[in-house]
Structure 1
Amino acid sequence: MHIPTQDTARQPIRPFAQALAEARLPHEDYDVSRWLYVPSMYCDYRYILGTAGQKPLICVGINPSTAAPNDLDNTLKSVERIALGNGYDSFIMFNVYAQRATRPDDMEKECNPVLHRENMAAFRWALEQTRTGAPAVWAAWGTIIEKRPYLAACLRDMIAIGEELGARWYSAGARSKKGHPHHPLYLRKDCTLDDFDVAAYLEQSLPLL
């Protein structure tokens, strides 16, 4: 369980580029040639957790919890299974907002623009890791996107970056009545990915928030 002790605006935020450079240095707790973990130390925010590869599936949730290299939670275990089962050689777990909070109700009330800016730099970097074909992005935030008004605005920025870099969006499992994509946790092990019209979702579902 991770409960934020204070808003991220009151904390120093490592720029993504700096945190990425640090994450590539040898680490005593895990193999940096296999794991992507940015920042590389446990703190109140996380940009990326995943594995290295040439063809990653980029899964997008709402916000990170306690998972770390060699210590994936059930959500991340499901993400890895589905990525490998659908022909990807690796996965990158990303989130609409980077603040750690096991319970989304504990997320800060206001968006920290510095944290959001660096999180978008992380998303751009993640998309650029696909070596062949279009970057594959799995929308997996569920109805939790309704927890904070700023989450929709953060997602809009992500969608714009995805359009710029030619990302292809997918979802897995049934969508909610409002069209929100399914969370990864309770999906079948053999679940396949479906094309997700993120532009239509932006117009039809996000204006409701």
Structure 2
Amino acid sequence: MHIPLCQTQELEILTFQQALVPTQNDYDRDRWLYIPDHYAEYRYLLGTRGKNPLICIGINPSTAAPGDLDNTLKSVERIAQGNGYDSFLMFNVYAQRATRPEDMDQVCNEALHRENLAAFRYVLDQVGEGFRPAIWAAWGTIIEKRPYLKDCVRDLAAAGQAYNAQWLCAGKRTKKGHPHHPLYLRKDEKVRPFDVEEYLESI
């Protein structure tokens, strides 16, 4: 479990550029992308390196770290492999670690969101030449936990549009149209197109 120590507005947040600076050597940097590279109250990125990653977007990170994936990340890795991607990256709508979404910030930390967007653009820049960024929407109904989360998704969609990203989903969508969370998907689940603009107009 990760229960936030406080609202992130009370923390001194590393910018994404600051978080790129290495501080630890306890995992294989040639294989893993982990930013910040140490356990903190927030996490911008976690995943494996490759030219054609499946970029999964959940709501917020929990306790996972390189070599210590939780069940959500194990499912993301499995589905990325099963759909022909050479790597996976776990990104989140909001970067605050909280095992229970009920413990997330009551109000959006604009500084944290801004740096999270910088991390997202960095991810899109990492996609190899000849590959179109593949973004898997996978936040489930948890997006309803905080009003600001929908606005965060809108900013991500705008950033993705600048990179001509393709949006995907997997599994059955909810009655309100939210994309399925990675947990409890079949091992052989295939990703399929997801119209993020239509979705944002409907919520």
TM-score bracket relative to the smaller structure:
over 0.9
> Does 2:196 align with 1:198?
yes
Segments of 5+ residues of structure 1 without an aligned counterpart are none
Q: TM-score, normalised to structure 2's length?
A: 0.98
Query: SS in structure 2 opposite 1:137?
Result: strand
Amino acid at match of 1:140: A
Tell me by how many angstroms 1:142 deviates. Answer: 0.2
- Choose the corresponding residue for 1:123, options 100, 106, 120: 120
Give the 4+ runs in structure 1 shifted more than 2 A. Answer: none
Aligned residues: 202
Q: Following the alignment from structure 2 to structure 1, what is the Cα–Cα distance between the partners of residues 11 and 142?
A: 25
Tell me by how many angstroms 1:17 deviates. Answer: 1.2
Q: Following the alignment from structure 2 to structure 1, what is the Cα–Cα distance between the partners of residues 134 and 126?
A: 10
Tell me by how many angstroms 1:129 deviates. Answer: 1.2
Tell me by how many angstroms 1:118 deviates. Answer: 0.1
Tell me by how many angstroms 1:18 deviates. Answer: 1.6
> Does 2:19 align with 1:19?
yes
Q: Following the alignment from structure 2 to structure 1, what is the Cα–Cα distance between the partners of residues 27 and 131?
A: 30
Tell me by how many angstroms 1:28 deviates. Answer: 3.2
Q: Identity of aligned pairs, percent?
A: 65
- Choose the corresponding residue for 1:152, options 150, 153, 178: 150
The CA deviation string for residues 87-141 of structure 1, in whole angstroms up to 9 with x for no partner, is: 1000000000000000001101000000000000000111111112210000000
> Does 2:7 align with 1:10?
no
Q: Following the alignment from structure 2 to structure 1, what is the Cα–Cα distance between the partners of residues 176 and 20?
A: 36
Aligned to 1:69: 66
- Choose the corresponding residue for 1:88, options 77, 85, 90: 85
Q: Following the alignment from structure 2 to structure 1, what is the Cα–Cα distance between the partners of residues 42 and 20?
A: 14
